[in-house]
Amino acid sequence: MALIVQKYGGSSVADAESIKRVAKRVVDTRRAGHDVVVAVSAMGDTTDELLDLANEVAPIPAPRELDMLLSSGERISMALLAMAIHSMGFEARSFTGSQAGMITDSQHGAARIVDVTPVRLREALDEGAIVIVAGFQGFNRDTRDITTLGRGGSDTTAVALAAALGADVCEIYSDVDGIYTADPRVIPKAQKLDHVSTEEMLELAANGAKVLYIRAVEYARRHGVLIHARSTFSSAEGTYVLGEGMKNPREAEGAVMEEPIVAGVATDFSHAKITVAGVPDVPGKAAEIFKIVARSGANVDMIVQNVSATGRTDISFTVPKADAAAALKSLAAEQNEVGFQNLVHDDQIGKLSVVGAGMRTHSGVSATLFEALSAGGINIEMISTSEIRISVVLRGDDLAEAARTVHTAYGLDGDTDVTVHAGTGR
């Protein structure tokens, strides 16, 4: 008998029918003899709809009240799920984040979990109940207010519960059936991964893969939680996300796993490129520029600086598209102080990243990437690397074709096309 934490995303509890389907899955797990703790998201697009409502009554809703409002979405689904389970003849009890002991800092809208004290959950489990917890929310002890963890925060709730309760596995259910070598909507020959390491998953998520939230994976890595990402709509096994030294449960069952050098190819259209042209090539200019950009609140991803022949140089960097306007405005305001010649904004770029822990120990991984791109006649505008990732910035129009070529070059193509359900990973 195991303790299993299950998380169901918004698309899995979108209506009464879906909630009953989830109830059945939870009860099946209970029938198999396991203790079950469930974290739920708000039904369907509830969170977005509540946000729209808030914006209709106030241009800038008060953060405290916004959290009161948004946290109500998960209360609806938790209570309905408990009722659905009752009607199948099983005992279930729902808890809000604060009842569940989800203690956070006081940052409304982006609170971080600082402690989990699941006393009431333990009591309920000891009494034989299935435990249901509202995802995405917590409680701050100083302000005594309800907080939310940021969009997609229910993944983090589930992982934090799994850590605090010492669960055997944290199953994250959504409308996609695992982690793929690439986004199947871009690369139909993508294959489902049997497993991926937490560090690979973090790089994939940070570079455009949307199935799991970065914060949840970070939490899992820090606390040694085993994640199993799988689909609510099928009984197929999904993908295990393994922390350091963690044993793949399927290997324990006797399966032999080959370790690929490259785990996957991620694509990202969400960034824009800013070029600061004609910067005086003297010490301190990069510091000035990136201090200005940081003050604008923009989060810089890649940076390149060209060589200077003329005593002036160009510095290009990428930021999320949503941050570009603020960064440009701040830079323009200090053009004279910095002494650059002009600014260029380019939001037609795409980023392709190849991720794999095997890069540490294998040579030639980057050569394969560059050869594939060159054979496809695709121009590279920027390059950056980490220990287990190589990213290139390309024309946005080239990104899908480039990703397919590169996916093939690393031998990641499956035999058949994936049937893509309109999954969002939520």
Among 4, 10, 36, 391, binds Mg ion (CB under 5 A): 10
Q: Do 26 and 89 contact (CB within 8 A), yes or no? A: no
Q: Which 8-state DSSP code applies to residue 180?
A: B
* Site map 28..67 versus Mg ion, x via CB under 5 A: -------------x-----x--------------------
Residue among 159 and 382 whose Cβ is closer to ligand ASP: 159
* Site map 42..81 versus ligand ASP, x via CB under 6 A: x----x-------------------------x--------
How many residues of this chain interact with Mg ion, rule: CB under 5 A?
Answer: 3
- Rounded CA separation 117/112 (Å): 15
- Rounded CA separation 222/216 (Å): 10
| Number of Cβ within a 10 Å radius of residue 378 | 18
**Helix runs in 166-212, H state only:** 198-206
Which strand (E) or helix (H) includes residue 268?
A: strand 264-268
Please provide residue 4's backbone torsions phi and psi, each rounded to the nearest 5 degrees.
Answer: -115, 125
Q: Which one of ligand ASP, Mg ion, none is in contact with 152 (Cβ closer than 5 to 8 A by kind)?
A: ligand ASP
CB of 45 to Mg ion, least distance (A): 7
- Provide DSSP, 22-77: HHHHHHHHHHTT-EEEEEEPPSTTHHHHHHHHHHHH-SS--HHHHHHHHHHHHHHH
Strands 92-95 and 130-134, by their bridges, are parallel
Is residue 18 involved in binding Mg ion (CB under 5 A)? no
| Number of Cβ within a 10 Å radius of residue 299 | 13
CB of 49 to Mg ion, least distance (A): 11
Q: Which of residues 12-41 bind ligand ASP (CB under 6 A)?
A: 41
Q: Do 8 and 232 contact (CB within 8 A), yes or no? A: yes
**Helix runs in 224-360, H state only:** 249-252, 285-295, 321-333, 335-338
Q: Which one of ligand ASP, Mg ion, none is in contact with 44 (Cβ closer than 5 to 8 A by kind)?
A: none
Residue among 10 and 425 whose Cβ is closer to Mg ion: 10
CB of 39 to ligand ASP, least distance (A): 9
Among 8, 90, 136, 410, binds ligand ASP (CB under 6 A): 136
Is residue 423 involved in binding ligand ASP (CB under 6 A)? no
Work out whether the CA dihedral 331, 336, 337, 341 comes out positive or negative: positive
CB of 36 to ligand ASP, least distance (A): 19
Tell me which residue of 122, 120, 125, 118 sits closest to 91, measured CA to CA.
125
Residue among 47 and 353 whose Cβ is closer to ligand ASP: 47
Q: Do 222 and 202 contact (CB within 8 A), yes or no? A: no
CB of 78 to ligand ASP, least distance (A): 12
Quick one: which segment of 148-156, 297-305, 323-331, 351-359 binds ligand ASP (CB under 6 A)?
148-156
Among 61, 152, 184, 264, binds ligand ASP (CB under 6 A): 152
Residue among 42 and 372 whose Cβ is closer to Mg ion: 42
Which residues contact Mg ion (rule: CB under 5 A)? 10, 41, 47
Which residues contact ligand ASP (rule: CB under 6 A)? 9-10, 41-42, 47, 73, 135-136, 151-154
